[in-house]
Amino acid sequence: MVKIAPSLLSADFTNLEHEISRVQDAGADILHLDIMDGHFVPNLTFGMPIIRQIKSVAKIPVDVHLMVTNPQNYLEILGDWKIDYVSFHQETVFHLHRQVHVLKEKNVKAGIALNPATPVETIYDLIPDLDFVLIMSVNPGFGGQKFLTLVYEKIRKLRKIADEKNPALLIEVDGGINNTIAPKLIKAGTDIVVAGSYIFGQNDYQKQIQSLRQ
Ligand code: DX5
Ligand code: ZN
């Protein structure tokens, strides 16, 4: 069963707790938090104190997507706060294996995120160590961008590698997803669908979330 993870990037930040309870009541499975540093991506969002406060009010698992150049500075503390899923980008870290195990030692579900131009083969040897892979279907930095169809092939390729090396691996896809794209992603082997503007851009969050599951 696919999990739907609303990205709070498109939520009303002046009413964050209300937005979180609205998506939870609407059937969201996971809260996706986009952390941007103005270096790895050309945008800034929010940081550690807000992540901590969101975790303290969330009733569903929290998924932190680190789009930052030095993710290793934040992994242990996110583990101490019992964040459920954490991903950082392949493009940002030299010692991926070491950082993945920092998360695993804290019992955090560990994920590597891949930019659209980064092949899945770059993490081939790490697949057995990972809980999930986050495949970006836009260039990270902004909500509301156009979905890149090149990811379908990446998902199929990754699913095939995972079937051999780590059948429990979850595939998360993030960026530009709506209700016509989601079924194709699910068919290709996606386990977690992230959606920001598609959910928060409308009044009826339940309807939007349900339409992604169909
Ligand atoms: C992009 C972020 C995404 C984004 C998704 O850098 O990682 O999570 O918020 O938003 P939509 O669904 O609007 O593309
Ligand atoms: Zn994201």
pLDDT of res. 57: 98
pLDDT of res. 160: 98
- Is residue 37 flagged as an active site residue? no
Residue 10 near ligand 1, beta carbon < 6 Å? yes
Residue 116 near ligand 1, beta carbon < 6 Å? no
The dotted CATH code for 3-213 is 3.20.20.70
Distance CA 161, CA 74 (A): 29
Distances (CA, A) of 92 to 62, 137, 204: 22, 18, 37
Distance CA 42, CA 171 (A): 25
Distance CA 21, CA 57 (A): 9
For the four alpha carbons of 32, 33, 38 and 39, in that order, the dihedral sign comes to negative
> Residue 112: in which H helix or E strand, if any?
strand 109-114
Mean pLDDT, consecutive 10-residue stretches, the chain (214 aa), reads 98 97 98 98 98 98 99 98 99 98 98 98 98 99 98 98 98 98 98 98 96 93
Question: Burial, 91: exposed, middle or buried (Cβ in 10 Å; 0-12, 13-18, 19+)?
Answer: middle
CA of 172 to the centre of ligand 2 (A): 10
Do residues 196 and 28 touch, judged by C-beta distance below 8 A?
no
pLDDT of res. 126: 98
Residue type at position 87: S
> pTM of the full predicted structure?
0.98
CA of 143 to the centre of ligand 1 (A): 4
Closest atom of ligand 1 to 140 CA is 6
Q: Which of 4, 9, 40 to mutate for ligand 1's pocket (most ligand atoms within 8 Å of CB)?
A: 9
Do residues 93 and 118 touch, judged by C-beta distance below 8 A?
no
CA of 8 to the centre of ligand 1 (A): 9
pLDDT in tens, 149-192: 999 999 999 999 999 999 999 999 999 999 999 999 999 999 99
DSSP secondary structure, 19-32, as one string: HHHHHHHTT-S-EE
Residue 6 near ligand 1, beta carbon < 6 Å? no
Do residues 29 and 3 touch, judged by C-beta distance below 8 A?
yes
pLDDT in tens, 77-93: 999 999 999 999 999 99
